[in-house]
Structures are given as structure tokens and as C-alpha cells.
Structure 1
């Protein structure tokens, strides 16, 4: 032999052998080579898959498990490829392998694969880390290969070519580096393209692994020593063994890949489940938040109406079964609107918070419920032993309210009106008790506020009657039945004739009979019917005025009352114009009577409205003068024609000197402002003489005539006008009497 050397137990040859030694010509079975390549690709794919599982595993135990599974797949793939590759090796000499050494090579493959998986399990890998690890892994694979080769036994001696030997190690390192870089890149991807990349990378890595093996085999030579007889190889079962190893390896690798896939799906399901749980948790929190919003008032943090009703229903069930009393206290802050109007809504909200804490601080225990129903309405539900406890609670709240409150730089004291209903005396249901407490509250507000009232049966009867009257009044207006106008003459002291009529509404109710205005006007005002009612009166008065014109009374004027709520409406001037145009009545024959409180309510808007009405040619009269709070400064600016002195100033004349002086002063003041004066409620001749003596322009009252319907009007007018010269007013008074109702 030429130059031979031995290193680490391996024989290297650098030159051709001398005569007498034969280098055996060896070949490989192509089918088994292809099978080895397939196993190498399967092992590579499994390694990439396991690297991905390690990267996505959520706990240390799971990462450790998949690291070992990946190491097993890689080791199995490399070692099975090597084993099948060796079985593919065919030499013209009898060859066999030592099993212990073959198993040692498997152990080396496993350790090397574990090192590869350990490297891949790092969160982030840079190139230099990959290079360093690939050197160790490549050396490990080469070691496995050459240890496996050393298990070969035959007549021939094994020699290696140093160049090819070194090249095989470099190929092993390069394949390892490619595997680490590809696995590191592919472990975080998703989708179809990522999967195709993984398949492609598996083929590349399989090529790298088998290249290393066959580079090592290219360095491998079998040399038959001189003088040896060539023993022909016997029958072998390499093909069958190779197929068995391949199938077993592929089955194991396939099972691992299936397990990884199943684990991936399971993890996705767990993620989905966690997401669902998270969403359920969020929904639960949202539901609790909504429940908080649904059952609590955001401003005062007290229970709201919905929450109160729920608690109320529970309490009623409890008290119905166990017995006992409950009180419902309805509270309304007196004149709260003035705070919002003057200081603004922010100040109003701050005040409500303070008042809510006052009310909350008045309750005795956590069992008592305090709720805010909205605006300045509060409601309380308290447990009772007797009726007086509810009174004491209400008085305690009213007392607490009297504590001064600092707000917007002011010290103010608020008061409250309270209505109380009791279970079981005043009702058995939530609705009934709340409604009855509200009726009692309405009574407290009607009695001057800053007070308390218990519900009583007559309150309910009155409320029921008012509700019924409201419904019937709507029907009367809609169907134009039952309502009628009565007219009271207004006598002109200068001409000695009736020059005006005041239109006064009456209602012929089918059950309650003849109703005066004071019985149904407040109901109309409280329920939004007053503007419709005023409009009905206006239209009817114009129709009647047109009828009077046909009967020869072309000079008569009619005075129509206008409520404060109607005066506040911009449409009023348009409605007056429409009523006049549709009936053909001259505007100068219509006079609108407005109370002084209505005039002074919103003086700027009122002035605009009155000027529009005056522009039509309609006269304006200030009614019930002296009962409100007129300002003379404003009074002189208003486009008025007439001032009507209220009956309260005339009824005690001539007995009351003070009233006589007031009436004289009003007449003098009105004439100074160029206003004509009407005095209503004139019932005696003495009153008439006094007013005539002091310059009053017109008188109206029972002395002349009671209010009469249109059909009875003409005879009354004729009688008054004819008696001007033929009868004294004293006899006129006796004829018409003072017993007629207004």
C-alpha cells in the first residue's frame, strides 16, 4: 500500500494500492437510495413541524415534550436514512454489520438531534448562533455516520480518502446550518404558502442530509488484502430490511406529525375557548355595567325608577306574605326650575347631589330605599310599624332640607313637598301606591308647598273625576258638543248704551249639569287643552258677532278672554286673523282680554305678540287689574286700549273708604296712560253712582244683567238701552236681581 495512515481508528489512504491489493468496485441499489432520500425528507419535515410546535407551545412542559419528539423524529430520519443507505451499498464481498455499534450510532444521532431542537427552541436566533450550533450538529451527524460505518465487517479493509472525508463533514455542517436557518424562519408562519415553503424546505434539507451520507460513502473504499480469496456474497435480505426500517420510521414520523397537528388544533380550540371565555367574561361585565346603568341614577348614584320598581315588587311580595306596613314617600323639590333657569343646569345638578345626600342621610337603615325618578323627583320606600313613623320621616327630611347650601357663591335654602301612601291601606300594588303618593304630593304642592300630605280616598275621587272631565272635555272640543258661550253686557256710561259684550264659556255636561269656567279651565290648563279651548272661544265669538251684525247690532264689540298659556304661543295672532277673515268680522269689533300676570310673565316676548295683535286692528284689555304684580314702567309700554278693574275692589264700596280711594287712583292712572276703564262686578246702584261720579268709562255686572246665551241676548240689550230714559237704574237692578250666577 502507498501512504496509509490511521486517525481515531479510521484508516486513510492517499495513493493507489501496490500490486497484490485490490480496491473492490462497490455499487448502490437505486431503489433503496430513493427510499433513504424519502425518509430523510420526512424527517426534515417532521423537524420543521416540531420546531413550529415548540415555538407555539404555551408552557415549559409542552415545549420540553415537543423538543424531545422533534429530536426523535430528526434522529430517526437521519439514522434510518443512514441505515437504509448502508443497506443500499452492494459490494462483491460478504458484508455484515455489528448491532451494538449500529445502536451507538443511533444514540449519537439522538443527542445531535436534541442539540438541534434545543437550539431551535430559543425565542430568537441570529446567524452566528445558528453557525455555532450547526458546527456541533454537523460534527455530530458526521460522527454518527462514521461510527455507523465502523459497524461494517467483511474480508476487505476499510480505507477513507481524506479529502472526501473532510468534504462530508463540511456538507454535514452546511446541511445543519440550512436546517437551523430554515426552521427558525418557518416556525412562526401560517397559511397555505407557509405550508408549501415547509414542503420545499424539507426536500432541500433531505437533499443536504443524503448528500452528506453519499459524500461520506464516496470517501469510503474497501481494499482486499493480498493473498485473500474473494468470498462471493450470499443471499441477502437488504431490500426487505430497508423497506421494513423505512416503513417503521415513516410510521413513527407520521404519527408524530399527526400528534403535532392534533395538538395544534387542540391549542387553537383552547385559544378559541379562552377567547369565548374572555368574551363571556366581557359580556358579563357589560351586563353588570348595563344593570348598573339600568338600575342606578348616574348623577346621584341612587336607585332609579326601574331599580326602585324591582325592589318595590320584592318588598310587596315579602310584606304580603309576612305582614307589615310600607310607606311610599314621593318628594318634589319646590321651585327647583328657578335654579336651573337662573344658575344653569350644572349648578342644578350639583344641588341635586347635595339634596340626594340629605334625603339618603335621613333614612334609618339599609332596608329603606331612596330613589331618584328624574328631574327633582325623589321617592322613598320605608318599613313601618305605624302611620306616624312615615310622618316623622317626612318631617325629618323637611328639617334636613332647611340646612343652607352653598352653591355658585350663594347660600340657599330649598324646601320640599311630600306625598305619602301606605301599604296595605292605600293600595296593594306598586302602581296603585305610587299613583296615590303622587296624588298626595299634588295636594301638598296645591296647599302652598313645603308640606306633607297623606293620601286619602277623597283625593282619589277628585283625581278620578278630573281625569274623567279631561277626557270628556277633549270629546266636547273634538265633537263641538256641550260647550257654549254666554255674553254679559258692558255698559258705556258716556253714551248710556251697551257697547260691548264679554264672552264667557260654559259647559253643559251630560252628567254634572251646567259647569262654570272655574270647574274645567284649570283642568284644561293642566292638560294642554287650554289653547284649543281658547281657539274654540275665539272662533265661536266671531261667528256670534257676525250673527249679531245680521240682527242689526253692527256696532257691538265682543271681548274674549285669553289664557297666559295661549298668549305665549306664536300662532295666536295668526289664529285671530284666521277667525276674523273666515267670519267677515271687522278686527275693531274684537277685544282680547289678558290678565296682568300673563302680560308680565315674559315681557319682551309678550310685547312682540301684543304688537302683532294690535297691528291686526284688534283691541287689547288688561283683565283683573290690581290682583297681580304689574309694573307701571312696563304698563305704559304695552299697546293696551282698556284696563278692567277686578270685582274685589268694588264689592265693598261704599263701605270701604280704602277701596274707594284705590279705585279712584286706578281710574286716574289709567286715564293718564290713555286707557279706558271697565269695572266688573257692579251689583248696586251706589257702586254705579260712585263709578259714574269718578269718571269710569264702562261698567259690567249683575246690576245690568247676568251672562245670557246668544238666543236671549237681544231682548236684554233692548231692555237696557230703552230704560236709559224711561227707567231709573234702581228699578233695573230690581228687575234683574243679584241672584243670577256669573
Structure 2
């Protein structure tokens, strides 16, 4: 079989022929192998660029560059290897046939790169393409061999010839599979795999060539002398071709590396842009979270302060007025406590919509500061605009709200401060609006108040008093107890004393409890203050005992806030034990409103105190709940009628009937009755006729300090016993008020009547 002048599958002649002994230049063989490796590496790199290129045009460019590198590398390897072939005769190569072999290599390489452009080719696709490419490479090789001309005849061994084709197909399949596998990945290990694959693929490609060359036999007739080759420098030509193709391959690899870096930078830039977009969205989200209330979508305190500062700066430079309005929902805590926080949140949303619907949408700023507290900032021309808006909001708030199956009406308290009249800074105006709100809530809620200078003065005074009260408690300096006698009508003697705290202030003089008890309750000092009164009262009772007052009891007023403390019973026991006073000589006075605040827990605490032996008295009876159902459950000993029922006796018939009814009811419940605020003989006579057990008031004595107490007690007890014949004689002059202030129409305030619950 003969093709292109080559003898295939033909037996060598048996006689008359000479087989030439041919060799190869080892250096050129090594150069050919290096070119094959470089071509393999360039092809893998180009295949990777094709896989990573996003633009179809870029994919086509890299596909052609890869095909050119593979074809040029294989063809150059073949050409250099042929130059390494050394035979003892003159050999020359036909240019046209040689170039045709290059075209075959280029077509096979393009097919290889086209297959690698498929995103995920199957194994069968790899195999089919490898067969075509292997045949193409083998065709390129043997067409190149056909370009070799000499006097000798070329014969090929069939087995090695077929083996060379199989090696070409196997090398092609390996190249395709490795290129597809290495198309994805990065890092040093990936690069090392690519180098290793290039070395192996180069070995496969050059193995195909030299297997084909091993199949070649050059035969000349016996006796013929083949012309010897001239002085052709094949080594120089081979090295030149190798240098050129390596420069081309290096340039392609460098271009691929540069494109890879550029693409990585573009990807990094896209990632950075995407990250910047995400950061921008996150910033906007954070700004939304930072400046807006998540529940009502109103501006929060932080966002409000920013807008407030801008508007304040604008009004300062351009002139004009601003109003800051603080709103607080009245009794909102009861909604959370009774219906739950979810219902409270739903109510806040409705209220927020009510407020937004009452203001001017574009000019006014509505914010939620937290809880049930809202703030509005409005621009105005005159003061009455703020009042009108506040009234609109209050009217809107009175619209019934359907919530949790209930129909309810809420009210609001509003405090207003104005710029520039009430302040020129954000802090001042907000603080002054808060003080005005405090005034609104103190005035009974569901109202509005503008800030006034006396509010600030009062707030400053309260702050100063708070600091000085802390110091007075810490140093036990300035606080003292006054005692007011409680007269027992049955025995005609003073058997009880009510302990009343006073504060000898270095500037304001002697302060009654109504000046500082509320401050103590608001600022967490009441427990310490009550405990001081308890211990001092027990100590004074011990002192009175040592002077012969063995039967006296002391009534001690307890703040409503202290009834929520489980430690109260232990503190009472400790104070009695320290002073060496029997528990039966101490009476705890609490207001009925305090008792009913949390009846379950209060009942447990009162029973603990009662178990110690301490008596219990309900103070200011008739001014709060006055519930008989609760009275019979409480472990009480004494009921004290509020002085408001005594003031107009004997002229007020209704008050007299109420007092008589209370006395009868208390005796039915086995309770003793104390009436406070007794100032006249007529009141005394009425109470004695009505069966009252004890009286207390200016008719007997004003509250006095401990060092003045014993003479007062002796005078009261002596007067009674000196006129014990007829109670009417008492009314004719026996009981003359001791040290009574003629200008005073009501008794000095005492702790039981002075405890003021904090408004906020």
C-alpha cells in the first residue's frame, strides 16, 4: 500500500536492498520535547481562558489563540524532531507538503479548542473528538514525513504505525480530559497540576512522533551509493525554530496570564461594586433602624434630634418660632398589664396614626421617643397654633379604639415649650417640654400645659433637695422625728404617738414631709428613709420606756412603695430587736390605696408583720377604695378616719352620718377607730358620743420633738384626770389646745397624709 510516496503495510524486499542506519540528535530531541510540553501548557492555559471568558467574542479569540498554539507547538515539535533525524544520505523537504501538514495540525487543534468551549462535555464527546484529533495529528505527522525526499524508499512497520495512531488518539483524549478538568480552579496546587499535566501530555505527543519514526525504514538498492548530505546546520535551524515557537507560546501564555489578572481584577471590581451596593443597602437599613421606630415607623429620638438641630439652626438664622410638644398616653401601662404587650403595640400603632393624622403632613415632625411617649416639632407664627394642634390631638385621641375585642378611649397629657421664648437649644426645649408634661400629668392628666419659668425653678429645687436628702440620710444629719399624741377616750390618757418625720434644712428651715417624701419615692430613697424613721422611732420608744412611759405605742407610717418589698418584715423585726422594744408597742400605718394596689402580695406581707406581734392600722380611711370585702380579709387592728370628714362637723350633717357609719362598721369588724384632725370641742363631743376610740389633732397638741414630748403628755393626762367627773366639763375648757397656731386652719402635715405618689 502506497500513500504520498510512502510504503504502508508492505513487506521489505528480501534481497538487493540496503536498510540505512539512522540516528537522532539528542539535543534536538530534548528541544522537541520541551516544545511539546510548552505547547501542552499553552493549550491548557488557553482552554482555561476560554472557560473563564464571559464575552462570546473573547471566547472566540482565545479559542483561535489556543488552536494556533497547539497546532504550532505540535508542528514545530514534529519539524524539530525531523531535523534531529540523521540519515547517511541527502534529504530535503517539500515546502508545500510541509505547509499542508501545518494546516492539518491547525484544523485538529481548532477542533480540540472547540470541544473545550463546551461548558460540560460528556465522556463520549471527549472520546469522539479525541479520535478525530488523533487522526489529524497522525495525518499531520505522516504528511510531514511525505514531504521528506531522498533516493531511499520509506517503508513503515504496520504494528508501530498503528501504535503511533493509537498513541495520538490517547494523547488527544488525555489532553482534552485534563484541560476540561483544570479549567476550573486556582491556587498553587492547581498550577502544579497544570505543569504536571503539560509534562505528561508533551511526553505523549512526542511519543507518538518517535513511535512513527521507529516504524520508518529507509531502503536503497544494493550497490547504489546514496549521495551524502551536505554541510547543513540542522542544529541551528532546529534551535531557531524552537526559539521562535517558544517565544510565540510564551507570548500567548503571558497574554493569558495578563487577561486572567485583568479578569480577576474585573471580578474583584464587580465584587467590590456588589459589596458597595450591599453596604449601601445595609447603611440605608441601619439608617432606617437608627433613625426610625420599628413599631410605628415614626422617627425615633436620634432622628428627631438631627431634624430638630437643623430646624433650630434655620429658625435661628432666619427667624420664626418652633414648638416642641411632648405627649404621654395616660394610664398606658394598664393596657400592657391587662391585655398584654401585643395589644399595647397594636394600640401604639393606632395612636401613632391618630397623631400623624392631626398634624400638618409636610411641615411637622412626629417622633416616638420610646414606650408611650411621643414628640412633635412644629413651625408656627403664634403661640395659639400650638394650643390648637394639641387640642386637635386630644380630640382625635378620644375616638373609640377597637382593641382585643374591646372598645376603649385613651387620653393624653401634653407639655409644650416654645422657641425662642423657652430656650434656644435642643436640650433646653426638650427638657422644658418634659417639665410641662410633668405638670399636665400632675394636674390630673388629659390636659396640656405650656412651660413656665416656675416649673424650672421647682424642678431645680427638687433636684437640689434630692441631693441634699441623700446627704442627710448618709450622714444622718438634719432628719428628726416629731410625735403627735393620740388620745384614748375610754381611758382618758394618751396611749399612742404618731411618729412624723421632719427635715431641718439649713436653708429652707423645718420641712414637713410633703416637701420631700415624693422626692424620696421618685428617686429610690423611700426605703432608706422609711427604715431610718422605723429605727429612730423604736429607739425613741425605748428611751420613753426608760422614763416610765411603759404603755405607750408608736404608730409608724409606711410608704406604699415599701409594701412591695419582701424585706420589710425582716427590717421591722431587726429594728424592734435592736431597740429592745416589744412588737406589740409598734403600730404600722398604711393608706388604704396602698393596701389595695396589689392586694395578694400585700396580704402576705401584712400577715408576716402581724405574726411578729406588730399592730396594723389603715390610714386615711374613706378617701380611697373603702372596700368592705378587702377590710374583712386584712389582718387589721385599727381604722383611722381621714380628717376630711371632721373638718365641717358639727355643721355638716352628711359628714357626721358618714363618720358614725364608719365607727359602727369598724366596731362590727372588731376594729378600733382613730379620728384625726380633731380641732374643736364640738368635734370632740360628737366623736365621744358616737363611740370613737381614739382622737388625734390640734385640740390635744401639735406634733412635738422628743425632748418636748413628756411635758405635753403629762399635761394632757393630768387635765383629763382632774375633770373626770363629767365629760361635758372637758368641753367647757379642760382641753385647751397646746401651742396651737391661731393662723392655722388645719393641722400640720404628717407622714400619713403627706405621702404623694410619683406622677411619673
Tell me which interval the TM-score lies in, with the shorter structure as reference length: over 0.9
Q: Does 2:508 correspond to 1:512?
A: yes
Residue 656 (structure 1) shift: 2.0
Q: Does 2:419 correspond to 1:423?
A: yes
Corresponding position of 2:608: 612
Corresponding position of 1:235: 231
Distance 1:58 1:626, change over 3 A: same
Distance 1:721 1:161, change over 3 A: closer
Q: Does 2:552 correspond to 1:550?
A: no
Once residues 520 and 610 of structure 1 are traced to their aligned partners in structure 2, the CA distance between those partners, rounded to angstroms, is 26
Is the Cα contact below 8 Å between 2:436 and 2:451 reproduced in 1?
A: yes
Distance 1:620 1:95, change over 3 A: same
Is the Cα contact below 8 Å between 1:703 and 1:732 reproduced in 2?
A: no
Once residues 536 and 608 of structure 2 are traced to their aligned partners in structure 1, the CA distance between those partners, rounded to angstroms, is 22
Once residues 8 and 566 of structure 2 are traced to their aligned partners in structure 1, the CA distance between those partners, rounded to angstroms, is 118
Alignment match of 2:56 (pick from 47, 60, 63): 60
Distance 1:193 1:375, change over 3 A: closer
Where do residues 102-117 of structure 1 align in structure 2 (5 Å cutoff)? 102-117=98-113
Alignment match of 1:434 (pick from 426, 430, 437): 430
Residue 417 (structure 1) shift: 0.9
Residue 228 (structure 1) shift: 6.1
Alignment match of 1:482 (pick from 478, 481, 494): 478
Is the Cα contact below 8 Å between 1:157 and 1:225 reproduced in 2?
A: no
Distance 1:127 1:672, change over 3 A: closer
Alignment match of 2:343 (pick from 340, 347, 352): 347
Once residues 403 and 613 of structure 2 are traced to their aligned partners in structure 1, the CA distance between those partners, rounded to angstroms, is 49
Return 605-614 or 66-75, whichever deviates more: 66-75
Corresponding position of 1:636: 632
Corresponding position of 1:669: 665
Residue 226 (structure 1) shift: 8.1
Corresponding position of 1:691: 687
Q: Residue by residue, what CA displacement relative to the aligned partner does 1:444-474 show, whole Å, maximum 9, x if unpaired?
A: 1112211111111122112222222222222
Alignment match of 1:280 (pick from 276, 285, 288): 276
Residue 29 (structure 1) shift: 2.1
Corresponding position of 2:33: 37
Residue 594 (structure 1) shift: 1.2
Corresponding position of 1:152: 148
Where do residues 192-231 of structure 1 align in structure 2 (5 Å cutoff)? 192-224=188-220, 230-231=226-227
Once residues 556 and 171 of structure 1 are traced to their aligned partners in structure 2, the CA distance between those partners, rounded to angstroms, is 123
Q: Does 2:499 correspond to 1:503?
A: yes
Once residues 9 and 407 of structure 2 are traced to their aligned partners in structure 1, the CA distance between those partners, rounded to angstroms, is 113
Once residues 89 and 204 of structure 2 are traced to their aligned partners in structure 1, the CA distance between those partners, rounded to angstroms, is 30
Distance 1:614 1:171, change over 3 A: closer
Distance 1:101 1:717, change over 3 A: same
Is the Cα contact below 8 Å between 1:420 and 1:454 reproduced in 2?
A: yes
Once residues 55 and 542 of structure 1 are traced to their aligned partners in structure 2, the CA distance between those partners, rounded to angstroms, is 94
Distance 1:589 1:146, change over 3 A: same
Where do residues 40-189 of structure 1 align in structure 2 (5 Å cutoff)? 40-158=36-154, 160=156, 164-189=160-185
Once residues 14 and 738 of structure 2 are traced to their aligned partners in structure 1, the CA distance between those partners, rounded to angstroms, is 168
Once residues 712 and 534 of structure 1 are traced to their aligned partners in structure 2, the CA distance between those partners, rounded to angstroms, is 23
Residue 391 (structure 1) shift: 0.9
Distance 1:481 1:153, change over 3 A: same
Once residues 541 and 349 of structure 1 are traced to their aligned partners in structure 2, the CA distance between those partners, rounded to angstroms, is 47
Alignment match of 1:315 (pick from 306, 311, 318): 311
Once residues 461 and 330 of structure 2 are traced to their aligned partners in structure 1, the CA distance between those partners, rounded to angstroms, is 26
Distance 1:708 1:13, change over 3 A: closer
Return 214-223 or 484-493, whichever deviates more: 214-223
Once residues 531 and 171 of structure 1 are traced to their aligned partners in structure 2, the CA distance between those partners, rounded to angstroms, is 99
Return 385-394 or 191-200, whichever deviates more: 191-200
Corresponding position of 1:14: 10
Residue 32 (structure 1) shift: 1.8
Return 171-180 or 692-701, whichever deviates more: 171-180
Is the Cα contact below 8 Å between 1:643 and 1:676 reproduced in 2?
A: yes
Q: Does 2:714 correspond to 1:718?
A: yes
Distance 1:19 1:599, change over 3 A: closer
Distance 1:737 1:31, change over 3 A: closer
Describe the SS at the equivalent of 1:231: coil
Q: Residue by residue, what CA displacement relative to the aligned partner does 1:530-587 show, whole Å, maximum 9, x if unpaired?
A: 2222111111111111111111111111111112111222111111111111111111
Where do residues 305-704 of structure 1 align in structure 2 (5 Å cutoff)? 305-704=301-700
Q: Residue by residue, what CA displacement relative to the aligned partner does 1:518-540 show, whole Å, maximum 9, x if unpaired?
A: 22222222222222221111111
Residue 733 (structure 1) shift: 4.0
Residue 296 (structure 1) shift: 0.9
Is the Cα contact below 8 Å between 1:703 and 1:737 reproduced in 2?
A: no
Describe the SS at the equivalent of 1:736: coil
Q: Cα RMSD (Å) of the superposition?
A: 2.2
Return 332-341 or 147-156, whichever deviates more: 147-156
Q: Residue by residue, what CA displacement relative to the aligned partner does 1:286-341 show, whole Å, maximum 9, x if unpaired?
A: 22212111111111111111111111111111111111111111101111111111
Number of residue pairs the alignment of both structures matches: 738
Distance 1:737 1:63, change over 3 A: same
Distance 1:571 1:94, change over 3 A: same
Describe the SS at the equivalent of 2:328: strand
Once residues 437 and 387 of structure 1 are traced to their aligned partners in structure 2, the CA distance between those partners, rounded to angstroms, is 14
Is the Cα contact below 8 Å between 1:420 and 1:441 reproduced in 2?
A: yes
Q: Residue by residue, what CA displacement relative to the aligned partner does 1:605-640 show, whole Å, maximum 9, x if unpaired?
A: 221111111111111111112222211122122111
Distance 1:225 1:367, change over 3 A: farther
Return 373-382 or 599-608, whichever deviates more: 599-608
Distance 1:473 1:65, change over 3 A: same
Distance 1:623 1:174, change over 3 A: closer
Return 89-98 or 440-449, whichever deviates more: 89-98
Is the Cα contact below 8 Å between 1:371 and 1:379 reproduced in 2?
A: yes
Distance 1:667 1:244, change over 3 A: same
Q: Residue by residue, what CA displacement relative to the aligned partner does 1:57-82 show, whole Å, maximum 9, x if unpaired?
A: 33323322322222122112211111
Once residues 515 and 16 of structure 1 are traced to their aligned partners in structure 2, the CA distance between those partners, rounded to angstroms, is 138
Residue 160 (structure 1) shift: 4.8
Once residues 636 and 276 of structure 2 are traced to their aligned partners in structure 1, the CA distance between those partners, rounded to angstroms, is 72
Distance 1:380 1:22, change over 3 A: same
Once residues 170 and 685 of structure 2 are traced to their aligned partners in structure 1, the CA distance between those partners, rounded to angstroms, is 134
Return 39-48 or 305-314, whichever deviates more: 39-48
Distance 1:611 1:163, change over 3 A: closer
Once residues 19 and 448 of structure 1 are traced to their aligned partners in structure 2, the CA distance between those partners, rounded to angstroms, is 136
Q: Does 2:738 correspond to 1:736?
A: yes
Once residues 668 and 312 of structure 1 are traced to their aligned partners in structure 2, the CA distance between those partners, rounded to angstroms, is 63
Once residues 595 and 679 of structure 2 are traced to their aligned partners in structure 1, the CA distance between those partners, rounded to angstroms, is 28
Is the Cα contact below 8 Å between 1:683 and 1:738 reproduced in 2?
A: no
Is the Cα contact below 8 Å between 1:704 and 1:732 reproduced in 2?
A: no
Once residues 160 and 573 of structure 1 are traced to their aligned partners in structure 2, the CA distance between those partners, rounded to angstroms, is 118
Q: Residue by residue, what CA displacement relative to the aligned partner does 1:87-142 show, whole Å, maximum 9, x if unpaired?
A: 11222222222334323322322222111111122112223212221222122212
Alignment match of 1:256 (pick from 252, 257, 263): 252
Return 454-463 or 525-534, whichever deviates more: 525-534
Q: Residue by residue, what CA displacement relative to the aligned partner does 1:365-395 show, whole Å, maximum 9, x if unpaired?
A: 3231101111111100011111111111111
Once residues 335 and 665 of structure 1 are traced to their aligned partners in structure 2, the CA distance between those partners, rounded to angstroms, is 34
Corresponding position of 2:751: none
Corresponding position of 1:292: 288
> Structure 2 regions of 5+ residues with no counterpart?
724-728, 749-760
Once residues 732 and 463 of structure 1 are traced to their aligned partners in structure 2, the CA distance between those partners, rounded to angstroms, is 47
